[in-house]
Amino acid sequence: MNYNGNVSELSVASDVERKEGDRVKNRMSYRHLAFQIDLTQVSTQEANAPSPPGFDHELEIEISAAEVRHQGKMVLAGDQRNQY
């Protein structure tokens, strides 16, 4: 996948800053046709912090590689049942 943005503006992912607090993940997963959608809410509570936890939300969408191959073969074969 190509990224057209400025790479120098991206921050490096690091677990160093997270070792001092607790992370709790609340994940819901859905499946529809060839797709799986995962929604995750991550709450972070810093050690010895009186403030309420912070929340991050993550969305992950996966497509079945087997279904992509199957649909690709149907395209190459000219099969009218191809959905894409």
DSSP per-residue codes, 27-70: EEEEEETTEEEEEEEEEEE-TT--SPPEEEEEEEEEE-HHHHHH
Residue 21: predicted pLDDT: 62
Q: Per-residue pLDDT for 27 more than 60?
A: yes
The residue extents of the domains of the chain are: 19-77
Give me the pLDDT at residue 10, please: 80
Binned at pLDDT 50, 70 and 90, residue 3 comes out as confident
Q: Supply the pLDDT for residue 61.
A: 96
Choice among 6-15, 53-62, 74-83 with the minimum mean pLDDT: 6-15
Is the pLDDT score of 9 beyond 80?
Answer: yes
